[in-house]
Structure 1
């Protein structure tokens, strides 16, 4: 039976300087991968990379040229590219009646365009004629928000639904064109990190819940497992999808939400 040993593989994680991305980077490194931390936050990203014996690259996921340069640096410094985790994302809470077009565009740019460009450059690097050229794995990070109707996150939910569609079309393209790259997505449940705390505070501030604790309680009440997700829960799913244990898992969405989105 195959296992989750990633020794000898190179994994790039966007948004790897903090939060879920940092947890994924650490989990991939613990499984044996050489990890490239890709982020806009140079100091924090460099610190994470140094702590796990990895490499840091400055990448703006919304910028095509930044992706191209970041991938080239990653391949040169880490010796290849086998796994790309499109994790970078942003959530800005707003009721639809108060929607700010600039904020909506920010979420669309980071969450949708950023993921699409990640797929573009992962494919270009990993396909047979690419600079890495051995095939590989892409794991996109969506959200339970793609599968439920939760107030005040309409645009964010729409962007994460788009990540699901990007994943499935990308898997088909990779197969049809012989790239040898598997593409899957993870739907994380609410994690009590900075993004999760901000969301809970925002929906309470808007008046949808009486307090932050009440907002968190409402999420837990909708979750059959009876708790919030942990960073480790999500990171473990990413390691699984990146590993040979998932060698025949392709074009799939893996909910890691305690049943909230079922």
Structure 2
């Protein structure tokens, strides 16, 4: 009985191969054969009514992840509806934003990594908070695997920030899921909040993002969604990093980004 079952399976596979290789005569057959092949398998193309000849069958191209520098062209973004006073200025490799209030604005950096790992290095100077009254915060966010919807960014962000707490200025760093979910139960890593200027390196690899500050490690965090995470930000992240980039948000602050470099990493 077992031999007969195995023989039937072999015959079925041979029949399917014959259909794929010898031809597909109508649209329904083409679609069925394509779905049977499964993801990453051979694809059957309809070529002028004849389908599935040997020359029509091909494998999906492999992604080559060789180390290479990519263009770094930040794009200024601002949500459509806002009454907050916001100005920006680009000069040479200097990208400066003065953004009052907390509407979503900043620079979006497209990263054409084609599915490969990448890193972004930049210098950020927080010149001042614009309104440092009691209870208010200010600073900027560093993203990874971000997209822009027209009203704001989506995806991972590590927030480098300060807050006036009872007249004392304290660091207020946090992990976020853009647009504005602050999850203070999750550790934002080891961040040096002293000084106005810091050099950051954002590295996306696998499903994670690693942040370095001034050549020292801050931490490694979820860049893509983890449905089982105890943290709200991680459960709300995007499922993939395709056609996404890095968003640098500025809120209630005057910030300049400079020396921006984007690198595709070899894997």
TM-score (normalised: structure 2): 0.27
Max radius of gyration: which structure? 2
TM-score (normalised: structure 1): 0.28
Kindly indicate whether structure 1 or structure 2 has the higher relative contact order, using CA contacts under 8 Å at least 6 residues apart.
2
Q: Which structure carries more strand by proportion? A: 2
